[in-house]
Structure 1
Amino acid sequence: MELFGFGPHLMIDGYHASTDALRDETLIRTVLSELSAQLGLGQLSEPVVQQHEGSGPEDSGVSGVVVIAGSHISLHTFPEHAFLRVDVFSGKEFDVQKALNYLIEHFEVGRYTTHFINRGKEFPRDAAALQRMLSGEREYVGARIA
């Protein structure tokens, strides 16, 4: 168990994806449900999936979200651009590569970029360990300034 920090946040931008898959509300609902289960993230709600209409077809697509314990998985598609955005944010560790592989397979993603951050650096899972870490970090920064 991590001593500090809230949890990981994986952001994926998928390019050259299947436009049919990006329009398929049933598939998106299934992906949100299955992905949370496969990653072992506690699903608190059924996925909500909705068509969204932009100023034109190029700005329209499907958005979906499922609430998991302490956070969410969200997905937004733009079929006219063969593009999707996905966020997997959790209060516990998960297999990032498994999540990425699952999404690439189900949406037939040709190219992707990812960003990964740990959120809530000062979220206290172990208050004493957090205090030691922050004190050391502040001492180091103070030493560099002096």
Structure 2
Amino acid sequence: MGYLVDDSRDRIDTDAVWAALREAYWAKWRSREDIETQIREAWRVIGVYDEETGAQVGFARAVSDGLGFAYLADVIVVEDHRGHGLGKRIVQAMIDDGPGAHFRWTLFTSDAHGLYEQFGFEAPDRTALVRPAPALPVHPTQAPANR
């Protein structure tokens, strides 16, 4: 089975991305409108497509200042297409083969550390601080719950 990795925003299948991300633990709180906005406003997107059917089977997006820093987000491969090295191909295309190859990259994940370590990601050093997000309601437009 062959796959094509492409960074054309116009080719992104929003329906396919929405279907994949609504099942992902890290994106369940986002609405379809949120996902569409994030795709539209991303610095860069990567799509992976089944060469036989043309269906989109993978995705990632990045947010960046375009000069020296980028955040990698929403790296996902549709379950039926996992095990073909597509996660590696997505990260390679985004990080090493794109215009941000010399940037400082960051990401947040609770799994797949082995994938990202292959591309030089490691635990933050003394120069990094993170302000965790407050607990979110079901959707960010709702009032925060009392704590």
* TM-score normalised to structure 1 length: 0.29
Pick the structure with more helix per residue. Answer: 1
Pick the structure with more strand per residue. Answer: 1
Instruction: Select the structure with the greater relative contact order (CA < 8 A; seq sep ≥ 6).
Output: 1
* TM-score normalised to structure 2 length: 0.29
